[in-house]
């Protein structure tokens, strides 16, 4: 049996130092940590960001990957999200693309209307997150390259 205990970022850092030795974990927006103690008394600490996957999230992910095209995705997301949620996600994705092009935060803010705080958080996840942004950018770049090649 595992015992999970939620604690603040500061408590985790004070009690054992940065759990994974990577300052990027905190930079990626993790403010909470989970302390896990197994039956043998071994304690590990993980960022709470590692605890976001559950059955409901997996069900949502399955629904998303089952969609076949942009039109189906648009219909699903419009039913699922408020306009504000869609606009926020679209803005973050725009920020990712501009940061990936090497634009400065102030220019990204001017072009997207995103706050520098939002841009900083997006940049942290782009550079130190799970790799999802990078994978999506890579896949879209591959599609663009194939599309450009086939039109020649």
Report domain extents, the chain. Answer: 3-51, 82-150
Q: What number does CATH give the domain 82-150?
A: 1.10.1270.10
Q: Please write down the long-range contacts of 122-126, taking CB distance under 8 Å and 24 or more positions apart.
A: 122/92, 122/95, 122/96, 123/95, 123/99, 124/24, 124/27, 124/28, 124/29, 125/28, 125/29, 126/96, 126/99, 126/100
Q: What is the pLDDT of residues 37-46, one digit of tens each?
A: 667 777 665 5
Closest to 27 in 3D by CA, of 114, 129, 116, 99: 129
Check: CB of residue 127 under 8 Å from CB of residue 137: no
Could you tell me the maximum CA-CA distance found in the chain, to the nearest angstrom?
64
Secondary structure of residue 108 in the 3-state scheme: helix
Neighbour count for residue 123 (Cβ, 10 Å): 21
Which range is most confident: 10-24, 35-49, 135-149? Answer: 135-149
Model confidence pTM above 0.75: no
Sheet strands (E) in the chain? 3-8, 32-37, 43-47
pLDDT band at 22 (very low <50, low <70, confident <90, very high): very low
Give residue-wise pLDDT tens across range 115-141: 999 999 999 999 888 899 999 999 999
Using an 8 Å Cβ cutoff, are 96 and 122 in contact? yes
């Amino acid at each position: 049996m595992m015992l999970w205990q939620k604690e603040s970022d500061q408590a985790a850092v004070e009690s054992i130092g940065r759990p994974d030795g990577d300052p990027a974990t905190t930079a990626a927006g993790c403010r909470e940590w989970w302390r896990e103690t197994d039956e043998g008394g071994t304690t590990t600490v993980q960022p709470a960001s590692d605890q976001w996957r559950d059955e409901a999230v997996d069900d949502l992910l399955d629904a998303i990957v089952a969609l076949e095209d942009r039109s189906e995705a648009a219909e699903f997301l419009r039913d699922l999200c408020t306009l504000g949620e869609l606009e926020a996600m679209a803005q973050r994705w725009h920020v990712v693309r501009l940061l990936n092009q090497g634009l400065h935060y102030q220019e990204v803010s001017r072009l997207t209307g995103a706050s520098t705080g939002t841009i900083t958080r997006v940049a942290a996840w782009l550079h130190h997150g799970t790799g999802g942004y990078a994978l999506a950018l890579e896949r879209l770049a591959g599609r663009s390259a194939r599309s450009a090649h086939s039109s020649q």
